[in-house]
Structure 1
Amino acid sequence: MHQQSDYVPLHLHTEYSLLDGAIRINELIKKASLYKMPAISITDHGNLFGVIEFYKAALDAEIQPIIGCEVYVAPSSRFEKKQIQGTDEGTYHLILLAKDNKGYKNLVNLVTRAYTEGFYYKPRIDRDLLIKYNEGLICLTSCLKGEIPFFLQRGMIEKARSSADFYRELFGFENFYLEVQDNGLPEQAEVNKKLVDLSKELNVGLVATNDCHYLMREDARAHDILLCIQTNKTVADKDRMCFNSDEFYFKSPEEMKEAFKELPEAIINTRKIAEKCNVRFEMNLNLLPVYEISDGRTPDEFLEKLAMDGLYRRLGDKVNRVYKDRLIRELNVIKEMGYSSYFLIVWDFISFAKRNNIPVGPGRGSAAGSLVSYCLGITDIDPVKYNLLFERFLNPERVSMPDIDVDFCKVRRAEVINYVAEKYGKEHVAQIITFGTMAARAAIRDVGRALGFSYGEVDKIAKLIPNAHNITIEDSLNLEPRLMDIYKTSPRIKELIDIARRLEG
């Protein structure tokens, strides 16, 4: 690790802490590079959605990525749906950082179980899961909503001590740290004093973090609006969720050293923890299974037989040289690129669906340009008839996996997924997520609502955004003079648009 900053951020929420974190990963990495940080962590609330994007961006900038998560811990069993006694809180917070690939796998197991077994308002784990999946993990005690800070804030010293003993024994002395924070909140100052005392008493290390939720101090207002959007409140609502400070931003090493000048070891320990962490991913591996044919034929041979049979089944005596040449050309490309098994697997699960009367869509996207797909019954669109290009779907000059979009009846879609997992192995099957982001008009409407604008007023502003694909608010200001005019003349509307610009996308 290069001799750079002594401070490493170990508690940080990106935009993947949905409607709570407001830090875009690309902007974060640029800032970390500016601050000459040797490493940086991601610890989103209850999920690992942003890990791969973060990992790639950090490595590209020659910064060490530290993979973590701020998990939610149930006060008793994850199966019990109840809140912490005497509060409206349902969980404690806890920071877990992966030291190595074993730790990362355990983190994945914990987060998965939190959703599938412990979900109650939030995805929750419990101590039983931590006992099972703690290897390769470093544990930090998190913010004021962490278990130990929670007890200390309420004067429950013995409970705090007992919890600290549990985590120290579970993770080991060298992998457990008491987390001190200073976001300008008086409660933190009081809890920090007690954490220092507990650290001395139990001989447990301290670590300084800043619980970053937005990039710059001036983003605090936009972040506050984001919380309003999440909770469906307006800024005027009393007793709404808010942070009561503008210091949850990505602070510089100098700012953190100044904040913890009385506890220099808490800064030094951030670097020590970073030096313990080394998760490495093997990217772009081909994990496709080989399609097994019982009579000994290869996937290439079987695909060619199915495709030729399918061509005559589809067209009968209308088969001509144009179709045959096109089919042979496509088959040669598929074979050369090693994707015969992929086509056979897709053909197989679509055939399963049709045999079991599960409705299947006719095909969409670039796969509709493949005659092989049409002959196999994967799609129902004749690409020759409609002059569709195979090269848009699969091109030897652009080496990338083919992507066949298939639509199944949503009621019975799970049957198809289960069939594929059982036949080809769960290790070869995964579901992926798609995130919706706030487009320009939606950002204007959501921010306007949170700021207390009337529906009519915000609707007029939103309708000034030109109706163009992927247009931004910045583009709209340049293209629409009426929008620029109200932006320049109305301070209220200027604030709305400035915040929406920060949150869109």
Structure 2
Amino acid sequence: MSDFVHLHNHSEYSLLDGTVRIENLVQKAKEDDMPAVALTDHGVMFGAIKFYQEAKKQGVKPIIGCELYIADDHQQKDARNKENYHLVLLAENKQGYRNLLKLVSTAYLDGFYYKPRIDKELLKEHSQGLIALSSCLAGRIEKLIQNRQFDKAKAEVEKYRDIFGAENFFLELQDHGLKEEKEVNNELVRLGRECNVPLVATNDAHYLEEDDAQAHDILLCIQTGKKVSDEDRMKFPNDQFYFKSQQEMKELFSDYPEAIENTAKIAERCNVEFDFDQTLLPHYEVPEGETLESYLRKLVYQGAEEKYEEVTQEIEERIDYELKIINQMGYPAYFLIVMDFVRYAKENDIIVGPGRGSAASSIVSYLLDITTIDPLEYDLLFERFLNPERVSMPDKSLPLQ
């Protein structure tokens, strides 16, 4: 295993804040003989699957993570609680990945206020399988150190250690040539020793090469609606926020070899694997005494009674044929789920179309009010939509009305 692995990187999915293309990120790691690399975009996991697939393709281990925004109370949305802090989370296993998904989703659904936010209570509930790094100068501990609140910084270290466990929380050392970082690092080393918390070295990579700093600066101007010539605007302090080589990182942190070594140890521990050949659907609750198949059939025939003056033999044969194929291929829950969210949309004045593509070929979809087109009237073939000879999910146009 390599001596150093980058664990703090922002891609193009850190919108208007990162310039790194995922393919190039993985390639750069591979060219420097790094067996693994992490993706830790700001508050989002938009690039996680693409990153995983590209890393596997290039023979580099993907480490899936996120740099989250932490607030004192993620649901409080007023000026008093606008401030937030950064925290890097890495998924050690599948449970950690699920917890990361939960935290990021909750941050947007319940905690969005300028940024998608979570708090320590949520971290306590969803800490299993996660490795936490204290982040950059925008981290809570680092902020307290900069404010000379050393006792509070120590208490914060102990809180995070208690939430994640002594082996799963690391104090993050960074060196982009900033005076503030050197002062913070000295204090982090002391806190690590006093609190028995390990150190880890990272570089807050927002662009790939040192020469990309100007392009990144222009991107920040687009984000903030400023001009490059504007003096009072958000900008990075120098051109050192790039994907440094192993050698560069070892030289920067030669006084803290354990911080370099810990990057490789963390990389060894992070082992999230995805199976893209498996179909995963949400659980659909059916009434007591019903199965997915029986409940689907019941609702379809209720729809037939409502939509047709007479349920003819032709209609029954088409319904039974479609239900047979749907059940045979294991998709009754799929139709019930889509029926559920289309019904919700219609009941809440959310625009839903009549159906598009081959989705209109299904009488089951029509009778469940997923589509509004009667396939019998237009002599549409169900097999265009769901074919037992094509082992795949029903046509993707169904849920994209």
Of the candidates 265, 283, 286, which is equivalent to residue 280 of structure 2? 286
Q: Which amino acid aligns with 1:140?
A: L
* Structure number, greater radius of gyration: 1
Q: TM-score scaled by structure 1?
A: 0.66
Q: Distance in 1 between matches of 2:121 and 2:368?
A: 49
Is 1:51 aligned to 2:83, yes or no?
no
Partner of 1:424: none
Partner of 1:399: 391
Partner of 1:417: none
Deviation per residue, 1:165-187 (Å, 9 max, x gap):
33334433322222111223333
Partner of 1:179: 172
Is 1:78 aligned to 2:62, yes or no?
no
Q: Which amino acid aligns with 2:249?
A: M
Q: Distance in 1 between matches of 2:232 and 2:10?
A: 23
Of the candidates 35, 38, 41, which is equivalent to residue 38 of structure 1? 35
Q: Which amino acid aligns with 1:368?
A: A
Point out the more displaced range, 55-64 or 218-227: 55-64
Q: CA deviation at 1:265?
A: 1.6
CA contact (8 A) 1:300 1:340 kept: no
Partner of 1:373: 365
Q: CA deviation at 1:367?
A: 0.9
1:303-314 alignment runs, 5 A limit: 303=297, 306=300, 310=304
Is 1:338 aligned to 2:330, yes or no?
yes
Q: Distance in 2 between matches of 1:379 and 1:312?
A: 15
Structure-2 change in CA distance of 1:37 and 1:395 (3 Å):
farther
Partner of 1:161: 154
CA contact (8 A) 1:299 1:344 kept: no
Is 1:93 aligned to 2:94, yes or no?
no
Q: Distance in 2 between matches of 1:341 and 1:67?
A: 30
Deviation per residue, 1:306-327 (Å, 9 max, x gap):
479849956979x999x99987
Of the candidates 334, 356, 361, which is equivalent to residue 364 of structure 1? 356
The 3-state SS of whatever aligns with 1:272 is helix
Q: Which amino acid aligns with 1:6?
A: D
Q: CA deviation at 1:387?
A: 7.6
Structure-2 change in CA distance of 1:387 and 1:268 (3 Å):
same
Q: Distance in 1 between matches of 2:372 and 2:231?
A: 57
Deviation per residue, 1:241-289 (Å, 9 max, x gap):
1112222222222221222223222111101122222334454333365
CA contact (8 A) 2:87 2:132 kept: yes
CA contact (8 A) 1:84 1:91 kept: no
Structure-2 change in CA distance of 1:396 and 1:220 (3 Å):
farther
Partner of 1:106: 99
CA contact (8 A) 1:29 1:58 kept: yes
Is 1:14 aligned to 2:11, yes or no?
yes
Partner of 1:26: 23
Of the candidates 264, 268, 277, which is equivalent to residue 261 of structure 2? 268
List runs of 5+ in structure 2 lacking aligned partners.
Answer: none
Of the candidates 240, 251, 257, which is equivalent to residue 233 of structure 2? 240
Structure-2 change in CA distance of 1:142 and 1:405 (3 Å):
same
Q: Distance in 1 between matches of 2:344 and 2:133?
A: 48
List runs of 5+ in structure 1 lacking aligned partners.
Answer: 409-505
Q: Distance in 1 between matches of 2:144 and 2:302?
A: 71
Q: Which amino acid aligns with 2:280?
A: N
Q: Distance in 1 between matches of 2:308 and 2:111?
A: 50
Of the candidates 63, 67, 75, which is equivalent to residue 64 of structure 2? 67
CA contact (8 A) 1:83 1:91 kept: no
Give the paired residue count: 399
Q: Distance in 2 between matches of 1:155 and 1:127?
A: 23
CA contact (8 A) 1:207 1:270 kept: yes
Structure-2 change in CA distance of 1:348 and 1:183 (3 Å):
closer
CA contact (8 A) 1:78 1:125 kept: yes
Structure-2 change in CA distance of 1:35 and 1:294 (3 Å):
same
CA contact (8 A) 1:39 1:274 kept: yes
Deviation per residue, 1:330-354 (Å, 9 max, x gap):
5664444233453355456657877
**Identity in percent:** 52
Q: Distance in 2 between matches of 1:173 and 1:372?
A: 55
CA contact (8 A) 1:293 1:299 kept: no
Structure-2 change in CA distance of 1:390 and 1:213 (3 Å):
farther
Q: Which amino acid aligns with 2:61?
A: Q
Q: Distance in 1 between matches of 2:318 and 2:150?
A: 76
